[in-house]
Amino acid sequence: MGQIKIALFCGGVGTRMWPMSRKELPKQFQPLIGETSMFQQAVSRLSKGFDHKDMFVFTGENHIPLAKKQAPQIPVENFLGEPELRDTHASVGLAATLLDKLFPDCTMVGIWASDHLVKDEEEFIRAIKAAKEVAEKDSVMVNIDVWPTFPNVHNGYIKIGEVVETIDGYKIYEFLGQVEKPDYETAKKFLESKTHLIHTGYFVWKTSLARQLYQKYDPETAKILAEIKKTLRTPEENKKLPSLYSQIEKKAVDYGLFEMLGPKEARDIPADFGWTDVGTWELFLNGMLDNPEDNLTKGDLVTLDTKGSLIFGDKNKLTAVIGLEDMVVIDTKDALLICPKSKSQDVKKIVERLREEKKDKYL
């Protein structure tokens, strides 16, 4: 069995979770609930199955000092700053390229450390190790996904086929393609049919396979990554990496690569580890509560006749609410957000408006 290396991706600004998530301090580095950030929680979770020396962190160059401060147990040389944010097609390619240079043909586990909550950490680690076994044995990319439990319209899906094999109690399915975020009726069909999984974004592959797939489906990016590989961990890295990285087309890796894969190139493992995407305030609230009529609160609060709501008050003042139902209230020192939780997906439009109006101090 080959070496395993964890690629922890924690870039992005989290515009849908404004006003708490900001450009200088995005949500992944903030303690939304409890005393530790989602990034720190991801590191802690992974440490239950893997050594810190095998974890590599990829984030924006300006957030590297903060990431190092929050995860001092990870060796400083295992942090690589992206010169600019160019979405996941570039960042995944960069991660695979660095790991392939340092540890040729190692097994890479892609983990998104900024958007997810995981309740069953032991099951999560077990699923990763099963995926590693399949990835190494069958020379395929292996997704680790979850069954839908409600008509989810916030996430993409993976269409699966027949069971190919069983590893450590996990059924390994054929990968038949990716599906964009569906409408409600389509999501209901996916829930009932048991033919589609919620796409978590977790994946395992050999770095040699990553290189081959970029060459096959995006040869232009593959050429740039080959040039980047020559500069990484050399005196030329700081000089050449920014200009090379900026040449990679800005797009999601799902569009740039993953959705092109066929059944012979990918597999899928459904696992149940209490996963929740917290990309919006509504998803965050749903993931944290067992009873949808409960409230999730933080700060000095007084609530009356309020249910199903997320209320984060500013720590320096009292917040009082009356008669709210299914609402989001986020109060920070310089901005206040109030919206129905069903509209929390549109918070990013507020951020876009602020950017258009050049109100940068609120970004």
SS3 114: coil
Looking at residue 180, what DSSP letter applies?
A: P
pLDDT average, residue stretch 256-269: 94
Cross-strand partners of 166: 171
Cα 224-87-126 angle, rounded to 5 deg: 100
How many helices (H) and strands (E) the chain has is answered by: 11, 17
Confidence (pLDDT) at 288: 87
Alpha carbons within 13 angstroms on the beta-carbon side of residue 67 total: 30
Q: Which positions ≥6 away from 323 have C-beta within 8 Å?
A: 304, 305, 306
Span 300-328, mean pLDDT?
94
Structure token digits, residue 322: 């009356």
250: pLDDT confidence band, cut at 50, 70 and 90? very high
β-strands 301-304, 319-322 pairing: parallel
Through-space distance between the first and last CA atoms of the chain, rounded to whole angstroms = 46
Read off the pLDDT band of 292 (50, 70, 90): confident
Domain boundaries, the chain: 4-279, 282-362
> For all residues of the chain together, what is the average pLDDT?
93
Q: What are the start-end ranges of the E strands in the chain? A: 4-9, 55-60, 79-82, 107-112, 116-118, 141-146, 157-167, 170-179, 196-206, 266-270, 275-277, 296-298, 301-304, 310-312, 319-322, 327-331, 336-340
pLDDT at 1: 55
Residue 304's pLDDT band, with cuts at 50, 70 and 90, is: very high
Residue 32 reports pLDDT greater than 60:
yes
Cα–Cα dist 171/162, whole Å: 10
Helix (H, G, I), strand (E, B) or coil at 323: coil
For residue 226, the model assigns a pLDDT of 97
Given a contact cutoff of 8 angstroms between Cβ atoms, the answer to whether 129 and 123 are in contact is no
Q: Which residue has the tokens 């290189």?
A: 211
Reported as a pLDDT band with limits 50, 70 and 90, residue 206 is: very high
Residue of 260, 256, 262 lying closest to 225 (CA atoms): 256
> What is the pLDDT at residue 152?
87
pTM of the model: 0.92
**pLDDT of res. 289:** 86
Strand partners, 178: 158
Per-residue pLDDT band at 230 (split at 50, 70, 90): very high
DSSP state of 338: E
- The token pair at 346 is 């549109």
Sort residue 177 into left (φ over 0), alpha (ψ -120 to 50) or beta.
Answer: left
Q: What one-letter code names the amino acid at 311?
A: I
pLDDT of residue 11: 86
Whether pLDDT at 136 is above 90: yes
* Maximum separation of any 2 CA atoms in the chain, in Å: 62
- Residue 150 one-letter amino acid: F
Q: How many CB atoms lie within 10 A of CB 330?
A: 23
> Looking at residue 307, what is its pLDDT?
96
State the average pLDDT over residues 133-149: 96
**Residue 60 and residue 80: Cα distance in Å, rounded?**
8
Q: Which CATH superfamily is domain 4-279 in?
A: Spore Coat Polysaccharide Biosynthesis Protein SpsA; Chain A (3.90.550.10)
Inter-helix orientation angle 237-245/219-231, to 10°: 170
Whether the pLDDT of residue 196 is over 60: the answer is yes
Q: What tens digit of pLDDT does each residue of 49-98 get?
A: 999 999 999 999 999 999 999 999 999 999 999 999 899 999 999 999 99
Per-residue confidence at 113, pLDDT binned at 50, 70, 90?
A: confident
